[in-house]
Structure formats: structure tokens, C-alpha cells
């Protein structure tokens, strides 16, 4: 799965320069804020709805005239959740941070099928993401980063919603597929669906469903790196972490 990410020294100009097949807007919004430890939105205290912490990820969505940069609440908020984190009949939170690609039947769970059928696809831009080796206790966290690109472009599904304060937002889920050998080597059995270049990003946003579906496959082993990071990354919202200098230097700007 993809349950934690980092957004570090990403500018929209850099994104569109790199992914030159995308159609840039006439003016860019503010660049994404630096955050080493982005988790899905959450309640600080489960018994207190007012303790909500909304988290967002930088995305690109297909407007009529351009491929438009924005911030999208993470995770995906389906229509039936009424602008809140979704829960089951017993009131327990349901994770919608990831939309797992199915190999049989409909490509996604019913929660995500309206977005898929409507073609509401987005590109989620992150510097790296984190995975946890579940073969050991305590689980060792790893940063997973590209070795041939300045950031990852991940395939996502989106919808618009109105949250409790009345404000309107995009919300997103990162699509997951089978892992490659690199992720298997650190004890993980799912991977975000990674778009390999700007042309793939353009096709994910603009192509028909069959062509877009064909882009959802495991990433190549040769251009994915992993590096262990401090255990403090497990704490949601904890930015007081000394990440390896080798990881930061790749995004020094």
C-alpha cells in the first residue's frame, strides 16, 4: 500500500518542465509546502470529531483547457461519507487512502467505481513514499524513491466534496498494484501505481479507460531505490525526523 509520503522541494514549474507532455496552466498556484511525513487525514482523538486533521497531497487534474495543479485531501471521501472520513456500519473508520486494482471483475471496489467511470483521474506528485517491512517487529520503515526522476508521479482517483466547515475540496486515493522485486525485498506486498514519464501522465489524465487501465502495472526494479529511515516516521504528523542526508540531497534543489 501507500500510507505515508513526503513532499520536499517540489515546484509546479519543475513538475511541468519534467512532464512536458502535460499542458501547463497560464499561471501556477503556490508550490506545495515541504512535509517529510504526510499521512492520510485523521482524528487526533477518535471520540472528538472536532479534532480532525486534514492532510493533502499535490495533484494534477484534467481541466477543460489545461492540466491543473491543485491540493487534494487525502484520503478519498466517497459521496456516502458526507464530507467526513468514511466509516462502516459499526462506526469504525474505513481506509480509503489507496484504491487497490482488482484482477477480476470491476477494476476497483464500489467506493471508487463512480470516479473511475467518470474518468476523474489525477496524477499525485510526491518526492518519495514510505513502506514498512512487516516481516520484522518492530517494522522497519523505508523511504522508496526514484533513481531516474526528480519525484514520483502516482496514478490516483478523485472526487469533489464539501467538508463539515462548508469548504469544497478535491479528495484523492492512490491506486495500488502488485509490488516489484525491490518492494518485495523490504517485505511489502503492494505498490502505488507509478507513471513512468510525462507522456504516461498525460495519457492517465486524458486517454480512454482501456488505455489508462494499461498504465497500471508494477514499476521497473532498476529505477527504484530504498533506504531505511528513523522509526519516528511512524508517528503521524511528526516532522522532527533526521532523514538520511543521501535522501535529502537528491531533492536539494
Among 10-14, 66-70, 89-93, 94-98, the range scoring the smallest mean pLDDT is 89-93
pLDDT at residue 253 tops 60: no
Q: What is the 3-state secondary structure (H, E, C) of the chain?
A: CCCEEEECCCCHHHHHHHCCCCCCCCCCCCCCCCEEEECCCEECCCCCHHHEECEEEEEEEECCCCEEEEEEEECCCCHHHCCCCCECCCCCECCCCEEECCCCCCCCCCCCHHHHHHCCEEEEEECEEEEEECCCCCCEEEEEEECCCCCEEEEEEEEEEECCCCCEEEEEEEEEECCCHHHHHCCCCCEECEECCHHHHHHHHHCCHHHHHCCCCCCCHHHEEEEECCHHHHCCCCCCCCCCHHHHHCCCC
Q: What is the pLDDT of residue 198?
A: 98
Please give the pLDDT value at position 49: 63
First to last CA, the chain: 28
Confidence bin at 251 (pLDDT 50/70/90): low
pLDDT 10s digits, 90-131: 888 899 999 999 999 999 999 999 999 999 999 999 999 999
Give the model confidence (pLDDT) of 152-200 as tens digits: 999 999 999 999 889 999 999 999 999 999 999 999 899 999 999 999 9
Q: Where are the domains of the chain?
A: 4-42+50-249
pLDDT above 60: residue 132: yes
pLDDT, mean of residues 41-57? 83
Grade residue 252 by pLDDT with cuts at 50, 70 and 90: low
Q: Residue 159's pLDDT is what? A: 97
Residue 234: the pLDDT is 95
CATH number of 4-42+50-249: 3.90.1680.10
pLDDT at 229 over 70: yes
How confident is residue 1, by pLDDT bands cut at 50, 70 and 90? low
- pLDDT for residue 200: 98
CA neighbor of 66 nearest in space, from 24, 123, 29, 96: 24
Entry pTM? 0.96
Amino acid at each position: 500500500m501507500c500510507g505515508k509520503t513526503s513532499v520536499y522541494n517540489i515546484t509546479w514549474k519543475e513538475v511541468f518542465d519534467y512532464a512536458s507532455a502535460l499542458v501547463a496552466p497560464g499561471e501556477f498556484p503556490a508550490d506545495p509546502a515541504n512535509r517529510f511525513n504526510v499521512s492520510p487525514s485523521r482524528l487526533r482523538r477518535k471520540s472528538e470529531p472536532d479534532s480532525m486533521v486534514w492532510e493533502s497531497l499535490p495533484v494534477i487534474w484534467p481541466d477543460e483547457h489545461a492540466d491543473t495543479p491543485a491540493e487534494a485531501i487525502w484520503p478519498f471521501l466517497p459521496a456516502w461519507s458526507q464530507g467526513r472520513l468514511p466509516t462502516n456500519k459499526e462506526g469504525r473508520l474505513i481506509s480509503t487512502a489507496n484504491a487497490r486494482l482488482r484482477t477480476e471483475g470491476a477494476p476497483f471496489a464500489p467506493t471508487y467505481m463512480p470516479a473511475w467511470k467518470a474518468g476523474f483521474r489525477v496524477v499525485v506528485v510526491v518526492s518519495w513514499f514510505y513502506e514498512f517491512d512487516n516481516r520484522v517487529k518492530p517494522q522497519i520503515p523505508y523511504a522508496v524513491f526514484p533513481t531516474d526522476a526528480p519525484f514520483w508521479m502516482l496514478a490516483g482517483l478523485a472526487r469533489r466534496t464539501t467538508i463539515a466547515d462548508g469548504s469544497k475540496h478535491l479528495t484523492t486515493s492512490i491506486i495500488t498494484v502488485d509490488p516489484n522485486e525491490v518492494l518485495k525485498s523490504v517485505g511489502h506486498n503492494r505498490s502505488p501505481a507509478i507513471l513512468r514519464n510525462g507522456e504516461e501522465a498525460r495519457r492517465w489524465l486524458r486517454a480512454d479507460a482501456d488505455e489508462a487501465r494499461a498504465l497500471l502495472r508494477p514499476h521497473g526494479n532498476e529505477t527504484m531505490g530504498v533506504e531505511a529511515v528513523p522509526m519516528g516516521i511512524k508517528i503521524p504528523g511528526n516532522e522532527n525526523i533526521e532523514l538520511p542526508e543521501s535522501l535529502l540531497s537528491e531533492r536539494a534543489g
